[in-house]
Structure 1
């Protein structure tokens, strides 16, 4: 299981632009390196990151091997109503992880 640090404002005003940040602990192995014995290390990167606000997709990114280990993703959205902001990411091995954060809109 990967670990994620999620930063979402606890509270915002209706119509306010908010910044959402996520950093995901993942090795992001590109598949270009070799181990001590010379064998290629299998590629394993996060290839898809998605964010949902109250069930609606608000951000998605397709990632490639040039992304560093422990990728940091930041984007903005407009606070519309209180609810859950959910994150999901999938790596090359098919593992899907999720995280959530709550926001209160006043």
Structure 2
């Protein structure tokens, strides 16, 4: 599993949890060619991103090749309290994954 691919901030204001995250990932489409060999560069992208607050799934995103390199993701969910745990996870099309846990502030 890759490590340190996720940077995350999560803040609760008025019962709404605002999550902002940056994920380090090349996100290649499979449509570009290697300039030297002319062969296509294989697709390599994040398929799914999920978020849980204290073990309860609150967010799911299914992605494809149209997402940029090192994607920034921002979303809001109802609920969450300061001090609770937020876990953000991703899985890519090659089976690699990563997750990071942080406390809500």
TM-score higher than 0.5 here?
Answer: yes
Quote the Cα distance in structure 1 between the aligned partners of 2:104 and 2:90: 20
2:58 matched to 1:58? Answer: yes
* Alignment TM-score, normalising by the size of structure 1: 0.86
**Corresponding position of 1:88:** 89
Quote the Cα distance in structure 2 between the aligned partners of 1:85 and 1:26: 21
Quote the Cα distance in structure 1 between the aligned partners of 2:6 and 2:98: 9
What is the RMSD of the two structures over their aligned residues, measured on CA atoms? Answer: 1.6
Runs of 4+ in 1 over 2 A off after TM superposition: 78-82
Quote the Cα distance in structure 1 between the aligned partners of 2:78 and 2:102: 15
May I ask how many residue pairs the two structures share in their alignment?
A: 101
Quote the Cα distance in structure 2 between the aligned partners of 1:24 and 1:7: 12
Q: Once the two structures are superposed, what CA deviation does each residue of 1:59-98 show, in whole Å capped at 9, x if it has no partner?
A: 0000011111011111112344432100110011100100
Could you say what secondary structure the match of 2:73 adopts? strand
Quote the Cα distance in structure 2 between the aligned partners of 1:80 and 1:102: 10
Does the CA contact (< 8 Å) of 2:16 and 2:80 recur in 1? no
Quote the Cα distance in structure 2 between the aligned partners of 1:80 and 1:17: 7
Q: Please, which runs of 5 or more residues in structure 1 have no aligned partner? A: none
* Alignment TM-score, normalising by the size of structure 2: 0.87
